[in-house]
Structure 1
């Protein structure tokens, strides 16, 4: 026979299963006597039979899942053997499942790699959960933790088994979320239901769908313009949300950056450091460059950032002075404010370093006027006089406002051109010319000289005589003057005795337009030559006769016999006369005063003296050589004139009595002699 029992798993030890004796119809009292025993192929004895009562109880709780694993029907087969008589009964225990197992997954977590380029709808098979329970106690459904990118769908295999599928419902972006952590829950149908969870880690595989992105769209840096090579300017940094080569970045200057700037700066391809390369030969205060960040993906992507580098000026440029126009020479009569030159003064430095102050020395008749930015006009500020200063070295000093400042100088030579603003000027107010009489014709007398400080024709002087008359004669008949050099020549021989002095005027005229002139007075003094012998005025010899003087026979000593009066038309020493006895018939009787010409007796007359005497008087001037004249005087010793006349009949007609003219001449000579003596006395007193 066979008996079938149903028992739920995990039934407690001792729990009653049934009564084998009753169920098989065997007397329970015989069980022990018949030596019953249970035979099973299991190593465990899950059941016991009470030998006295035949009660069947649980000896050891049964774990259905352990015992039967995944079998849908879990059966334990026993054989009950009875002896006396030998009987064999089949016992079948159907182990009923209870929901004592939660669904579980084979792994503690599941990783799923999903390329980010997949479109929504992509499906990924998920692992099935295991539940050792059976029937409704086994896995009945799956759930997925909420996620905007994924949802769960159940699929049926060909054998009818179901499995979960992960479905992409929204495109992934690894750069926004590289990993999605989901929870897959398996639930059984027990009451209460049990569940098991497993983490699903969805890793989004990168696609080069992101360009590198700079931290800043614009980078700003400032460096000194004299920064040496290697100076760090800035370090740029870009990130790429992609992975691997897709996220590896190289830096470079973009093609929009000028070649000059790419030569002046270097950028490290890996670090993004921008450094100075060589000399910063730029004139702009702000440099604009574009830096490109490019990834290493198969289809590389890039982005660009702007780099603005402010070049902080170092005052390394001096002002540069350029003369754009220059008027030189300028006329000396230029009015103040006349523009001479236009100057351009530039400084390549920017800012304060490029601002300029400009000046010229204060002691010049010029000034700088600021006209436009960086342009100056050099103008006259005072009167010019070429005759005082014919040109100016004008030093223009330009200084920038840098620290320290740099100064540049440029010197302009401005020549002053002449204007006929100066008349000729003679070297003296008057000229005195001394000339000896009897000069030869054409004799050089004097050279007048006038200077004119003007230049060229304005300073070229010519000379001419001013029209006038001298002693009734035209000046041109007496003199001539050289037009070129002012030399004065005599056109006649002067005679001191006729013309002792005269004056005339010479005009000096320049060749400017209009011409300017000056006039000088020339005084001509004719000096005497000893060209006239003394003229004996008394006693006068007529027709070769001898002048006769009568002396009383009894004349005393120092008796004035006569006075020889002479005149000389010459002047000064040429007219100074001295008197000498050239011959005397009796040298002891007469003597002659050398200065006055008085002939006197040296002693009293004697009765023994001759009655008739002859004296030769020489009158001589003091010229060189001296000139002289002689006169013979006859002397008669007589008491009366009639007594003397017969003795000199042979001498011709007796001399006439002194007439009025002779008396006047004698008086005049005496006066002149007195005046001359007084003059000599006056000179002696003055010298003392």
Structure 2
């Protein structure tokens, strides 16, 4: 680096260069002697930072005119002019990891005397050409010396006028390897003390320093690189001593076999590392089959005639040489073994062209023949293992051929029994191939090896044959007992006849037939019913056992096809229906005929003429399809149960009548109606609705009130009860038996509640045919035409056991009609309460009761009290737990 021009007072300034000294103790004050004026970027001195703090990662100067480098060198940051003799600042050192913090005091003292020149006679400094610059320097590795060996000289311009001392540091000096280089202190001559291996150290980066005797550094440190020149002292080395490759036989020319690789530790990119590969020798020698690329080391084939069956392995001796293969280059050898991989280039062939085998008839799963083949491919590989196929002669599937994995033989087996009487000899054509496909893409069929197998069938004495195994006969159902029909026939396979065969039934589910032992014919033992429970699709199966003279047997099935007779009328399976008003006005009924469809639909539906006239007027049917019709009411029937007799007739006129239990209910779904206590099925089951639950909850209080109004005396004259008309009893009186004698019952006749004493003496127990067992029945009279929903006004209550008359006020229109219909009948029935068993006038009477005014909490128990609507009964849907159990017991009876 060239120095800046010296100012006018330069001689005096240079003479005043300070001599600095390090403080003996760490972190003590360091004193530098400096001139009175310093230019910017001038070297002041060096502080030993490591003695104060081993690893400082932050260095700070308290004076901004000076900067401190990491090696402790102090430089001026700007031009400095000393106005006093002394000036000082602080260098702060810190380490964040070790939390260290040290300070070094630096004292700058002004040098008042100038330095003496090296030659006293020279009073004036002269400018000379500077040599303080990096000079290329190199040395040969593994040099033989003599040592120490001169490398070059480093020199500063300042040395021309003043004494300068030189020093170096860095790798090879004060760092590993130590003491490999040194410089003469006075001359700057750089020497090497010993040989260097380039593969270990390819270059050295050292730093040179120049300083005056007083410690002043007139130059910046000089980086100096010493390059170690390479010598071809390393042999190329293969990555493996032996390479093993595999190539398929019959590979094309130029097919890649493998690649070898070598490394050289000499300098990359030089002739010392330019490698060349070659094949030294091939074993066996001739012919030459492989080629090696001299640059990449890739081995390829030079022919397509590699044949594993001729030779399955080759060995190559290979060489690699540096200096691009020059004769003076270093070389190394290795071995390469090449295995020839097998391909399916040989087809298997049969050792014989024809074979003969024997097998007894009726035998199965037996081995009858073994065939062998020859194949030159590698044993126990897919190229060698054989696959056998039967080309012709096995259309019926009697045979199969498999491969024995140990011997590679073909094993011919019988998998389906043969019949000597049908065929005595069969001819099979078989072929063989390999598991792996042939190495050529296409192979003609003629190239596949084939052989002929003649199979002779041996005769065997056989038992009877039940052929076909299922035989059928047709008999009309309801045929007379002892009807005879042809039965089951078994055959002798040798004679094709049935002589000497005995028959016996071993399974006759219903015992309907008998079997003739000699002929196998059948005779009916009972009437046959096509509609029997176990008969499916009119077929009745009987199992027959056939036995020949020596006791050999066979089993067959005789299917008796029962021809249908129209002996069943269509019926309605669902005998109960619910009509929810007003959401629906009709119900759908479906009929079923167990006979064959030819004797079944289309059906004709009609209301039975023997039904009561009111029902016939009220109900009508419309056809939906061949098997279904819709039943609806024409007169807006009141809520309640009804019995409608429906006749269904099939296509041939055979009919049957089904009584339907139809319930007209105020509901949304059928389940809603069942909760009201109306019957859903014809099984006689009842379920209680909300009115029934209310009656149970209030039963105790109402029972005492009702019993106080009903007193049946023994007074009065005896009257003969007038029987009720048939139509009234069928429609209005419904008898409901209880399962056992119970407590007092309550029966209702359209709002009139009457208590019947179970142990009393009143004649009510003999009232009509509906009261039996001493009054332990409930009579429920249902109005057939109008409901009592419109009866809302004031009215008188029924008066029984009095003068023999029951009075009921008019209830606005519909109620008057109901009164005219029921008064004469109820009068006769209630009059009987006036008499006891001896036709005497009773002591007590039914007391009158009347409506007590508007807003009665209890409401009326008169003719209109049994209202169909559910006013103020919502609380029944939200009962407390202790009452909910009672309600569930009433509903789910």
TM range (shorter): 0.3 to 0.5
TM superposition score normalised by structure 1? 0.41
Larger radius of gyration: 1
TM superposition score normalised by structure 2? 0.33
Higher relative contact order (CA 8 A, sep 6+): 1
